[in-house]
A and B are shown apart, each in its own frame.
Chain A
């Protein structure tokens, strides 16, 4: 099952060239680009680990791609995403976020339905245990 989170996730995975262009778009807009990775891509997990510091004052995407290559080398078996943070007044938030790396064995989730008092229904997203969790 292909994990769909963030921008472009319903498209085929971006190639490095396409990632470069997206990153360059972020830099041209003056956003700080971050690289984050995780082995727990639960949709409610907003706290991914950061690869180094956010990259401020960059002019060219090559610098981000250099870090991404390094991050992939170390954490190639995890999810990696790139996000662009816009610090300008009124925004002060993440403007773009997209996956740039998936593990060979994607994480899978089940939706568990639970009936509670007054026939109300609760749903929980539960990670399906893969037979060989070796990440």
Chain B
């Protein structure tokens, strides 16, 4: 925002704007395209990001046209089940906002309760302020924000951190963007006990669970990043894996898939090493065979088969 002069009236207001050129100059087209390619699914998230990006673009043009413009409130809350990409999107969001010039530096400070709340009286305020100062000009990402509020302990220092946060969120809206993240229901009760938070956050974005097809695409993307690929049969086996894993306890969307992919790599390496007399080619090294997938415990009732039963 420093780069854009703040004046609401420029000397000679422009009257015509080439929207496409403006969008490209601001890097919006690229950023949104990248978002579309790299993040699978997440329809509501993407559409909200697009809306925010559009607003920021129009706001910039309005400023140049000499129309009234107020810096938009950009604080957000991300709710959703484990592994739905809240942290990933938060990191991406900082880049987008920086690209559009609505945060000056674009760094992300990712914190949890421990980083904000002190251990004894008088410890919390300096600690919270320290973090806020580091986050100035960028994005403050508070993961599992509901831990800040401990309803069972009214003398908990978390309340102090919340008050300082609210104050800065209100008074220095143009200096930093706060993103709260957490699991759906607990965030709802957190907002219910801290109505100040709810009203200061303009964008409440809910992250939906992934569909099976999306999880498969995610798995393939992860494998591609790591330089592997499924054989046709392995792909089919992994489809079955996803369908089974989803019904088992402690399923956490993309995170479970990432863990599965890592274990599949282990098994693939183990399979290759078990036959030392064999000559390997590149195809062997990068191909995941169905055996690597099917060896998973998921197919024999799940890793938690014992603990899941009462």
B172 CB within 8 Å of chain A: yes
- Which residue on chain B has the smallest CB distance to residue A64? B133
Contact with A along B165-189 (1 / 0, CB 8 A): 0001000100110000000000000
Question: Is B104 interfacial (CB 8 A cutoff)?
Answer: yes
On whether the beta carbons of A57 and B126 are closer than 8 Å, the reply is no
Given A52-B126, A66-B172: A59 and B132 interface contact (C-beta under 8 Å): no
A67 vs B130: C-alpha distance when bound (angstroms):
10
Q: Residues of A contacting B107 with CB < 8 Å?
A: 59
Contact string against B for A residues 65-84, beta-carbon threshold 8 Å, 1 for contact and 0 otherwise = 01100000000000000000
Task: Check if B126 sits within 8 Å of A60, measured CB to CB.
Answer: no
Give the Cβ gap from B107 to chain A, nearest Cβ, in Å: 5
The residue of chain A having its C-beta at the shortest distance from the C-beta of B174 within the complex is A62
**Chain B residue at minimal CB-CB distance from A24:** B2
Docked-complex contact B175 and A59, CB < 8 angstroms? no
Q: Does A63 reach chain B (CB closer than 8 Å)? A: yes
CA distance A63 to B176 in the complex (A): 10
Chain B minimum-CB-distance residue to A55? B133
Does A3 make an interface contact (CB < 8 A)? no
**CB-defined interface of A14-54 with B at 8 Å, one 1/0 digit per residue?**
00000000000000000000000000000000000000110
Chain A CB within 10 Å, residue with most, of B104, B130, B136: B136
A66 with B126, Cβ < 8 A, contacts A59-B107, A60-B104, A60-B175 known: no
**Could you tell me if A62 and B136 are in contact, using CB atoms closer than 8 angstroms?**
yes
Which B residues are in CB contact (< 8 Å) with A60?
104-105, 136-138, 175
Give the residue of A52, A53, A58, A67 whose beta carbon is less than 8 angstroms from that of B134. A58
B172 contacts which chain A residues (CB < 8 A)? Answer: 62, 66
Residues of B within 8 A of A63 (CB): 132-137
Q: Which of A's residues lie within 8 Å of B, judged by CB?
A: 52-53, 55, 57-64, 66-67
7 contacts between A and B (CB under 8 A): A52-B126, A59-B138, A62-B137, A66-B129, A66-B133, A66-B168, A67-B133
